[in-house]
Amino acid sequence: MTAEQNETYEEKTEKLNQILARLDDPDTPIDTLADDVKHGTKLIKELEAKLQEVESEVETAFEELESTDESNEQ
């Protein structure tokens, strides 16, 4: 596992914000922009996957809570 894979959601978000700032900067070299777009795309996919993972975990937790409440009512 690479160091980048160990980064938190917040760290990846901060990196993405830095990339966006460079994209807005007219002085950023074109080669840097190309690399930033590739890296930014990768970060967006990773962040989206994490959000979907967390959403699934939350849904599962609520389903378990509801089933516990229902069995307690019987």
- In whole angstroms, give the CA distance from residue 40 to residue 65: 37
- Please compute the mean of the pLDDT values over residues 54-62 and round it to a whole number: 95
Residue 2 in this model has a pLDDT that exceeds 70: no
Domain boundaries, given as residue ranges, for the chain: 8-73
Q: What is the pLDDT of residue 72?
A: 72
* DSSP structural state of residue 33: H
Residue bearing the bigger pLDDT, 54 or 69: 54
Give 66's pLDDT tier (boundaries 50, 70, 90).
confident
CB count within 10 Å of CB 36 equals: 19
pTM for this prediction:
0.77
Give the mean pLDDT of the chain.
91
- Please compute the mean of the pLDDT values over residues 50-57 and round it to a whole number: 96
